[in-house]
Structure 1
């Protein structure tokens, strides 16, 4: 399956929360996520991400999740594989042994909700601001861009001012030159 998402910078969080509440969309309590992003050692920022596997180690409430994403149509339409790992440090070492290099650390507070079959994430990303993500799963052979357009129309139906973003958080942090948090 392919995870397809759209992402928006939120300038008016109260307006967004009101628009979601008007549609009966409830968000979870906030959770803190500590994500370490990894790229193949041969890849550099500025190169295309399409077809390249990227890894992530996420810790949330003491639970560690390992994810690999391979962008298909663009950075936000990816084949995804994910599993829980027992030891973040050992998985970090395994990633280094497999030829991955740590890129940036992403620290955020996330609230999650559902809008039909679509997952909504409201993220407060340290050093970047507040973002709205809509994500859904699509068949591997589906065009991610078409699914993204459908998700975009859902966001526009909220009637709030948002700024669409085409990059992942790691690329946004890198572009903003946000200092790397200590691991």
Structure 2
């Protein structure tokens, strides 16, 4: 995947219950599929990536494994940041390489994700272990205002009550993180 500016809006779901939200979403969007994702975030001992609002993530899911670099978030209405992703054929080899150059896993995020397509956007219904339920709307090739309009429309159609969240799942879980994670 080439470098792109990732644009997304995340909503912490308060209501309706996930079962009802899933039914409503399937009525208005195209179901793409579901997967469990295990994300390992890496940094060096000085936390240079984390302290500069950047991230290096190894994602292992049912269908694929990929390494992603995320640049600092832009000062904007939606969560926007540079993202570069590449497929990985051997996760353990990548971990060995990263550890050999001074990076180690500092945080693990596990989630079950259902993906949908809605008016050109990817809509993800996430159940994040230890954090709760979220709806993410991502569309990288429209401007921020269009993404906000699309998100507000979807929130209205689905009757979602919730709170916008600009922090990443990694940032939300950082207080629960501990050094010394091992790669499984």
SS of the aligned residue for 1:27 comes to strand
Whole-Å separation in 1 of the counterparts to 2:101 and 2:79: 24
Asked if the contact 1:67–1:83 (Cα under 8 Å) also holds between the matched residues in 2, the reply is yes
Counterpart of 1:91 in structure 2 is 94
Matched, 1:126 2:129: yes
- More divergent stretch after superposition (145-154 vs 27-36): 145-154
TM-score by length of 1: 0.79
Q: 1:34 aligns with which of 23, 35, 38?
A: 38
Whole-Å separation in 1 of the counterparts to 2:150 and 2:97: 36
Whole-Å separation in 1 of the counterparts to 2:131 and 2:21: 18
SS of the aligned residue for 1:30 comes to strand
Matched, 1:20 2:19: no
Asked if the contact 1:15–1:160 (Cα under 8 Å) also holds between the matched residues in 2, the reply is no
The Cα offsets for residues 50-83 of structure 1, whole Å up to 9 and x where unpaired, read as xx3x211111126311111113415931211111
Whole-Å separation in 2 of the counterparts to 1:93 and 1:77: 30
TM-score by length of 2: 0.78
Whole-Å separation in 1 of the counterparts to 2:27 and 2:39: 32
SS of the aligned residue for 1:42 comes to coil
Gaps of 5+ in 2: none
Q: Tell me how large the CA RMSD over aligned residues is.
A: 2.9
Asked if the contact 2:107–2:178 (Cα under 8 Å) also holds between the matched residues in 1, the reply is no
- More divergent stretch after superposition (37-46 vs 14-23): 37-46
Question: How far off its partner does 1:147 sit?
Answer: 5.5
Q: How many residue pairs were aligned?
A: 174
SS of the aligned residue for 2:25 comes to helix
Whole-Å separation in 1 of the counterparts to 2:121 and 2:99: 34
Counterpart of 1:173 in structure 2 is 173
Whole-Å separation in 2 of the counterparts to 1:18 and 1:39: 39
